Structure 1
């Protein structure tokens, strides 16, 4: 249909000829009539939206007033759909960034101004569960070292005055400090109760562990494909990985072909290298 112009179904398919089509007999007749107004919206990115308003035979036909009302809201629909498209792209990008951070073995902990934990990734969950150097208490982040705990509290109180990222180390009883970067999150005033500080924590002496969820987000794999990729990266053969996951060998081979297509790898050894080193 013409882009941005409200059009009736009968106009689009040629009036009476439409009633003789298979489409009309199989769908519209069952729906109760051909009273359909529609508009197609196309965006520079290639995204398309096709919107339709329908009535059955029990209601009066669409008239000029309905068509004008539909046409009047087209700019608003275009704006709303444009926002939806940007949100979808932003969500996809967020998944990639999150997967990359986790793949690099970096814990991400988001705090509000009170030190309450708003969000964590799987690497952070593992660190907090271990309770070595940092832990959760009443949903608030607690550093075991008293002086470092006071430094973090002072940082949370001075976010507006000192927006630059701060680097510090988190002491642990096990003897190997964690490296941390605290980065204030810019947010409008009405969101003062939300995310205020992003804390990125890593263990310099520990090799990054592969997380199926991170692999899944990073390469847009299915859950089973991600589990298989991690199993292969851990040194298992395809047969052993299939047995461990409880799937048939032929199914595993099919999943592996899909993994190759999505990651760009051509061989199993290349896939393992990509997962272990290429992303880091």
Structure 2
């Protein structure tokens, strides 16, 4: 997507399913659009997308068609819209050119578009950009068509992994034997420093990208006990998510917080990987900061509930959260129940995974 944007002298680009949010089975591959904004589009602004709505209304959704934003919605109407005022303007998106890759009329080929964007300070796209994007869409249709028809599961895996790559918290997927199948960029950056945690190479054909290991024996034993417990997923001996492991960063000061959770239900989105556990790794001194305004806007969460949500990312117990916030433990539990209800989650690991998509992007 970066190459497409660069070729078109655009600031941002998207390959996405405009009528289907990621939460409903769609996909998004983006250049320079934060994961949190993609989540917000899917949960709140899909219905306010004037461009898509108008293209559907006038019957412009057919394979290979190219449209400018101003051909669909006059600029003065766009800037007055909720979609622009509350969403697009925050990304400085005002100029748009899009090509329909798939119209959504063929089974297993959902409506798919490739769009490029510019800010208010730039000129609109012209006929040459439209022609180039039309050619790009043809190439994309060949590649995507094969993957969606023949390798649909693997393609959805790729887009899911790209989503994990955009997170600023470290995330690893572990196989059924505990081997690391995937590590996002943030995890690889933490592991490459060799301070507390690292990856030990294994058999290149059997052991994924390697094995997690801690720098000292005590931490290593605790780490692999946690991994074994998550993989076993014994319903009679559940491990509490908030009891994160704290691993010293070797000769450096500070700690890494490691949270390990089982993958309870195998999702087709993982394709052939079929992970057995998820591992979250954060630097205790650099805990991601939630975008509180976005959390409140999307889910109607109160300021007090936002503070509890932020503390949950430390990987501590509810007692620790209560102590840090100078609250009673029952009050913290009440806030947690409200967070579950408002976000539609049911367990703490689910809630934390949602919160990780709403962290502040520096």
TM-score range, shorter chain: 0.3 to 0.5
User: TM-score by structure 2 length?
Assistant: 0.31
